[in-house]
A and B are shown apart, each in its own frame.
Chain A
Amino acid sequence: KQEVTQIPAALSVPEGENLVLNCSFTDSAIYNLQWFRQDPGKGLTSLLLIQSSQREQTSGRLNASLDKSSGRSTLYIAASQPGDSATYLCAARIQGGKLIFGQGTELSVKP
C-alpha cells in the first residue's frame, strides 16, 4: 500500500530565504508526482507535475525533483515571499490512476 509522508508538518522562515519541502513515498511504482498549493479555505492549485521518467521540473522560483529509487521528492522555493505562505501538498499517482496525498507542509513566510 502506497503511503506518502511530508516533513516537516509546519515551517516558518523569514522572507528571502530559500527552502526545501520534503515528500517521501513507500512504493517506487508511481506514474507521476504532483505538487499542489492550498490557501486556507480554498481548493488545490497545481504547481508542478513530474513524470516518473523525469528528474525535475521548474516553474519560476519553484523547482521540484524526483528520485524514484529512494522514494523522495523535494520542492525547492527560491527567495521566499510572504505570498508563498500556504499549505503545500504532494501526491503520487499510482496504478489505477489514483492520487495518494501526503498530509501537507504548512509554510509561513514572515516579512
Chain B
Amino acid sequence: SQTIHQWPATLVQPVGSPLSLECTVEGTSNPNLYWYRQAAGRGLQLLFYSVGIGQISSEVPQNLSASRPQDRQFILSSKKLLLSDSGFYLCAWIRINGYNEQFFGPGTRLTVL
C-alpha cells in the first residue's frame, strides 16, 4: 500500500531563517506530487506541483521554492522565512489509475516568530 510521510511534524522558526520541509511517498512510482498551505481559518492553497524528477510548477509567486531530487521525494524550501509563511503545510500525491484520487500526508505545522 502507498504511504506518504512528512517531516518534521512541527517547526518553530525565527523570521529570516531558512526552511526545508520534506515529503516522501512509499509504495508507488512516478507519482504526481503537490505542496499545499493551509493558513488559519482559510482553505488550502496549492503552492507547487511536480510530475517528475526536476519538474516543478509554481502556482503562487512567493518566498518559497520546491525541488524534486528523487522520484518519491519532494522538498519545500525557503532562504528567508517571513511571518506570513506560518501555516500548515501539506504534501499530497495522486493515484493515477483513471480515478485521479488525491491523498495527503500528515502535514507540518510551521510557526514563524
Contact = CB atoms under 8 A, between A and B. Distances in A.
Interface centre among A32, A101, A102 (most CB of B within 10 A): A101
A61 interface: no
Given A89-B44, A97-B32, A104-B43, A46 B100 contact: no
**Dominant secondary structure at the A interface:** strand
B102 A101 contact: no
A34 B105 contact: no
Nearest to B106: A43
Contact of B103 (A31, A42, A46, A97): A46
Contacts, number: 51
B11 to A, nearest CB: 14
B64 interface: no
Given A41-B109, A43-B105, A102-B43, A97 B99 contact: no
Interface of B: 6, 32, 42-44, 46, 49, 59, 88, 90, 92, 94, 99-107, 109
Chain A to chain B: the 3 pairs with minimum beta-carbon distance, closest first: A44-B104, A43-B104, A101-B44
Interface of A: 31-32, 34, 36, 41-46, 49, 51, 89, 91, 93, 97-99, 101-104
26 contacts: A31-B100, A32-B100, A32-B101, A41-B88, A41-B107, A41-B109, A43-B90, A43-B104, A43-B106, A44-B92, A46-B101, A46-B102, A46-B104, A49-B101, A89-B43, A91-B44, A91-B102, A93-B100, A97-B32, A97-B49, A97-B100, A99-B44, A99-B46, A101-B43, A102-B43, A103-B42
